[in-house]
Chain A
Amino acid sequence: MGKKVYNLPLGGGSMKVKVKLFTTLREGRGKELMVELEEGDTPQKVIDILNIKKEDVAILLINGRSAEFDAKLAEGDVLSLFPPVGGG
């Protein structure tokens, strides 16, 4: 996908995935986005589209479950991306 800038909705495929961004990842991108992906697309594809560096994502959740960058996304999934966070 390269660095092409998309008009909303991002992506252009037939499968809709909601992306939630947190803390610094929101800067210039917003809190919540809909991306349209192709069957078999992955979180890696999403961060490419959003121009997010892999190393800036510390925690990746699909529907609230920890997942990997190469997981297969499905229609209606919610992808949450966090930079390193902690507290207590």
Chain B
Amino acid sequence: MYGYKGKILRVNLKEKTTKVEELDLEKARKYIGGRGLSSKILSEEIDPKVDPLSPENKLILTTGPLTGTPTPTGGRYMAVTKSPLTGAVACSNSGGHWGAELKFAGYDAIIVEDKADSPVYINIEDDRVEIRDASHLWGKVVSETTKILEEECAEKVKVLTIGPAGENLSKIASIMNDVDRAAGRSGVGAVMGSKNLKAIAVKGSSKVDVYDPDKLKEVFSKCMKKIKENGVTGEGLPTYGTAVLVNIINENGIFPTNNFQTAYFEKADDISGETLAEKYLVKREACYRCPIGCGRYCKVDDIEGGGPEYETVWAFGADCGVSDLEAIIKANFWCNEMGLDTISAGATIATAMELYEKGYIKDDELDGIPLKFGNAEAIIEWTKKMGRAEGFGAKLAEGAYRLADMYGAPELSMTVKKLELPAYDPRGVQGHGLQYATANRGGCHVRGYLISPEILGLPEKLDRFSLEGKAQWVKIFQDLTAVIDSLGLCLFTSFALNAEDYSQLFNAVCGTEYTAETILEAGERIWNIEKIFNLKAGIDSSQDKLPKRLLEEPIPEGPSKGWVHKLEDLLPKYYEVRGWDENGVPTEDRLKELKIITG
């Protein structure tokens, strides 16, 4: 088989059984793989209404057909499950080397079912799969767990694990791999924790076969040339990492500050990619077969590790009013060790700071440093406590929405579908805001990165305040992103590559016959099955919304001063371009056209 390995590993933790099943190739090609195929499998195998932290939920760790192949950035895997944070479909994407290794071991995906009676980990060496005791790992941080497994498993094993946050069922827990790479969002780490599954160690020795190696060489050269010559992927990201965005986003006045109370941060340059490169960068890091290498590795005092990314710098920085980059690097380090999503963790602390300053959270319940905007110590201490669910940290571990809701002020959480919003104020980027409101996994930037055209001018410059054409742009970006995720490539390639490039890579590796047009249709198919999952889970269009603040309170200062988000004007058009009815429900006709249903 080409691209795909043709096998799915099913592990039942209760029965302690493992089973290898054949991949349904036709279905795989239709839904591409990874995010697409696994969302389809999840929809078929679980009732979307299940409690996400119950044994009935399943966790699918899935690769794409290009994962483990010699395609640029072909090393991604995704964690697909029902999210305990949002109740919606979750698909968290990560790089590093673990995903490719799973392919080398012979599997396209692992489906984890039920719950172990006591902590376990799964050890995979090609076709030898064992469920092993993990009581000695429980409670351990990510780097320590990884080190122990590297010693007790095969040589050069790749380790995926949760930290204490996942064990404690924090709704913002991540799954970590290769120590500092994260499938971060939607609380996927808690699903692993709820199954008493601490880690999965993988070692593989096979190759991934390619359908047309000569053609692949040709397409590969073309894509590599584009990536190298593109200013973002060839220069900006390699030199400065994702934090290169800090200044440009701030200069546009859309850098959310103090929990979105404003959108311009005076001290942005103190926490910028430029400052990071100048003062703290030890080395660059790259994921499997990545020619871009946006990863950072930084050191402060006795702490060193991967990151921080742009989103992290923002969440612990501007969003918490903190301009101390050293403290941000430390908070990032602790997120990685605890297995916490950095965006959600930082944004939750920012929400707590507003709740504290407005008198909702009282001093007598705060067993630690005051949660004041600008307090650099606070972001470090509360991250650690959140990870361990210690004292007030246990409340933070629930995420921003539930925290604010506990104090009767859910409107102070800057969330969509309970997922904490990332680092762009939608009031100054109208298309991007529409994407926040409509993303199937909730308030997320990497389901359709409209910042690219609205701010960076790629592939073309759009007026960021205009509503015109934005619904169409959002749809295309969402569909294309679904393709990239499902193939197993990194979204950052899309600064340089287009739908045609992706279809050619897919065809050369798998022998498929996709075109730019039909691959986008596959992306749309994926988007729609995710949407249907959500509808069945009870998440309907009443949740396609933005926090009240962003709709009603104009940005008070800076270059986007005076703007609110105009969701109401955009949403009907979006449903229309999607071919959904006015309630945001996919029509039968559209589902037939997309071959999701037949007849």
Interface-located stretch among A2-10, A40-48, A58-66: A58-66
Cβ contact within 8 Å between A86 and B452: yes
A64: which of B235, B236, B251, B495 is its contact (CB, 8 Å)? B251
Q: Decide if B370 is an interface residue (CB 8 Å cutoff).
A: no
Assuming the contacts A20-B251, A82-B248, asked whether A64 and B559 have C-beta atoms less than 8 A apart, the reply is yes
Cβ contact within 8 Å between B253 and A64: yes
Expressed in whole angstroms, the minimum distance between the Cβ of B443 and any Cβ of chain A is 14
Residues of B contacting A87 in the complex (Cβ-Cβ under 8 angstroms): 232, 236-237, 241-245, 294, 309-310, 492
Cβ contact within 8 Å between B451 and A88: yes
Q: Decide if B123 is an interface residue (CB 8 Å cutoff).
A: no
Cβ contact within 8 Å between B274 and A23: yes
Cβ contact within 8 Å between A31 and B269: yes
Assuming the contacts A23-B244, A88-B449, asked whether A59 and B236 have C-beta atoms less than 8 A apart, the reply is no
Q: Decide if B491 is an interface residue (CB 8 Å cutoff).
A: yes
Residues of A contacting B273 in the complex (Cβ-Cβ under 8 angstroms): 23
Q: Decide if B560 is an interface residue (CB 8 Å cutoff).
A: yes
Cβ contact within 8 Å between A64 and B244: no
Chain A 77-88: CB-based contact to B (< 8 A → 1; otherwise 0)? 000101111111
B446: which of A22, A31, A65, A88 is its contact (CB, 8 Å)? A88
Cβ contact within 8 Å between A23 and B492: no
B236: which of A23, A31, A63, A80 is its contact (CB, 8 Å)? A23
Q: Decide if B472 is an interface residue (CB 8 Å cutoff).
A: no
Q: Decide if A24 is an interface residue (CB 8 Å cutoff).
A: yes
Residues of A contacting B251 in the complex (Cβ-Cβ under 8 angstroms): 20, 61, 64, 80, 82
Expressed in whole angstroms, the minimum distance between the Cβ of A33 and any Cβ of chain B is 14
In Å, the complex CA distance between A31 and B242 comes to 19
Q: Decide if A54 is an interface residue (CB 8 Å cutoff).
A: no
Cβ contact within 8 Å between A84 and B236: yes
Residues of B contacting A63 in the complex (Cβ-Cβ under 8 angstroms): 559
Chain B 446-458: CB-based contact to A (< 8 A → 1; otherwise 0)? 1001011001111
A24: which of B239, B242, B464, B559 is its contact (CB, 8 Å)? B239
Query: Which of B208-244 touch A at CB < 8 Å?
Result: 230-233, 235-237, 239-244
Q: Considering the complex, give the chain A residue whose CB is closest to the CB of B235.
A: A84
In Å, the complex CA distance between A87 and B458 comes to 12
Cβ contact within 8 Å between A85 and B559: no
Q: Decide if B590 is an interface residue (CB 8 Å cutoff).
A: no
Cβ contact within 8 Å between B461 and A85: no
Chain A 14-40: CB-based contact to B (< 8 A → 1; otherwise 0)? 000000101110100001000000000
In Å, the complex CA distance between A64 and B562 comes to 13
Q: Decide if B383 is an interface residue (CB 8 Å cutoff).
A: no
Q: Decide if B512 is an interface residue (CB 8 Å cutoff).
A: no
Q: Decide if B257 is an interface residue (CB 8 Å cutoff).
A: no
In Å, the complex CA distance between A54 and B294 comes to 26
Q: Decide if B139 is an interface residue (CB 8 Å cutoff).
A: no
Chain B 431-474: CB-based contact to A (< 8 A → 1; otherwise 0)? 00000000000000110010110011110010110000000000
Residues of A contacting B243 in the complex (Cβ-Cβ under 8 angstroms): 87
Expressed in whole angstroms, the minimum distance between the Cβ of A10 and any Cβ of chain B is 20
Assuming the contacts A86-B456, A87-B242, asked whether A61 and B252 have C-beta atoms less than 8 A apart, the reply is yes
Cβ contact within 8 Å between B559 and A22: no
In Å, the complex CA distance between A54 and B265 comes to 28
Assuming the contacts A23-B273, A24-B239, A64-B558, asked whether A88 and B244 have C-beta atoms less than 8 A apart, the reply is no
Q: Decide if B351 is an interface residue (CB 8 Å cutoff).
A: no
Q: Considering the complex, give the chain B residue whose CB is closest to the CB of A87.
A: B242
Chain B 470-491: CB-based contact to A (< 8 A → 1; otherwise 0)? 0000000000000000000001
Q: Considering the complex, give the chain B residue whose CB is closest to the CB of A62.
A: B559
In Å, the complex CA distance between A86 and B560 comes to 20
Cβ contact within 8 Å between B248 and A85: yes
- Can you pick out 29 interface pairs between chain A and chain B where the beta carbons lie within 8 Å of each other? A20-B251, A23-B240, A26-B274, A31-B269, A58-B457, A59-B455, A59-B457, A61-B251, A66-B463, A66-B464, A83-B231, A83-B235, A84-B230, A84-B456, A85-B231, A85-B232, A85-B240, A85-B244, A85-B245, A86-B236, A86-B237, A86-B452, A86-B492, A87-B237, A87-B242, A87-B245, A88-B242, A88-B311, A88-B491
Report A's interface with B, CB cutoff 8 A.
20, 22-24, 26, 31, 58-59, 61, 63-66, 80, 82-88
Report B's interface with A, CB cutoff 8 A.
230-233, 235-237, 239-245, 247-248, 251-253, 269, 273-274, 294, 309-311, 445-446, 449, 451-452, 455-458, 461, 463-464, 491-492, 495, 558-560
User: 10 closest A-B pairs (Cβ-Cβ)?
Assistant: A64-B559, A84-B231, A87-B242, A86-B232, A85-B236, A87-B245, A80-B251, A85-B244, A87-B310, A64-B253
